[in-house]
Amino acid sequence: MKATIRGIAPGWGILNNYNATSNGRIWVIWDENWYEIKVLSSTTQVLHCLIKDRIKGQQQVLIVVYGFNTIERRKSLWQELNTLAQGISQPWLITGDFNAILSPQDRLAGASISLNDVKDFAACIQSMRVTELQWQGDYYSWTNKQHGEDKISSKIDRLFGNYEWMEQWGYVITEYENLKCSRVNFKFLNIWAEHPSFMGLVENIWKKEYRTGQMLRVWCKLKALQPILRQHNNKEFKFIS
């Protein structure tokens, strides 16, 4: 998979938490011309990194989270974040899919919300003394991709900064895409990268120009690549899924 990412985003750095979990639940990619990033620690739910701006020399701590699906399994996440917070005095950004909500308004439809659903996450945020970044776009960052009465929406993706981070970059606004349209899951199969025509397919998409910011340009190209790879799978691998 690393070889594939390097083919898609040449010159970009790659980190993940495969050393802590077999399915590598967290990935971070970045432009190495601008930033130097090193891992400080890695667990099944957290990737803890130090970022250095190559131009300005500024440093900040980044923690990327992917919380487990159940309240009980997430308890170790809150404990880990609280422990990390005690040793951090630099600007610190926490982001990711917490798989947890902070208030009743964070879930639309679905099961009734109890105190147990919110108390651990809320207590962790209060204990760490972090502030949620400003945001715009769709309030809900996740849906179950159903329609009508069966549709459930939740706000489980967030960004938080400590006082030092907010003092320097508190003007940053997080943008969430509109989730009103149903999205189809996309699964990358490693066997695709072994096919002789794979890199040619990637290169054809990567040559296209998108007049957007650099990170959004990568996203647009990855999005455009998905139907090409699906067709490739159907033709060459007989609908392997």
What residues does each domain of the chain span?
12-176, 190-236
- Greatest C-alpha distance within the chain: 54
Which of 129, 104, 127 lies closest to 117 in space, CA to CA? 104
Q: In angstroms, rounded to a whole number, what is the distance separating the alpha carbons of residues 202 and 143?
A: 30
Cβ atoms of 12 and 29 within 8 Å: the answer is: yes
- The tens digit of pLDDT for each residue in 88-142 reads 999 999 999 999 999 988 998 888 888 999 999 999 999 999 999 998 888 888 8
Q: Name the strand (E) or helix (H) holding 226.
A: helix 214-236
Q: How many residues are given for the chain?
A: 241
- The tens digit of pLDDT for each residue in 168-226 reads 998 988 887 765 544 455 667 777 777 888 888 888 887 887 766 666 677 777 778 88
Task: Give the CATH architecture of domain 12-176.
Answer: 4-Layer Sandwich (3.60)
Phi, psi of 203 (to 5 degrees): -65, -35
For CA atoms 52, 91, 173, 15, give the dihedral sign: positive
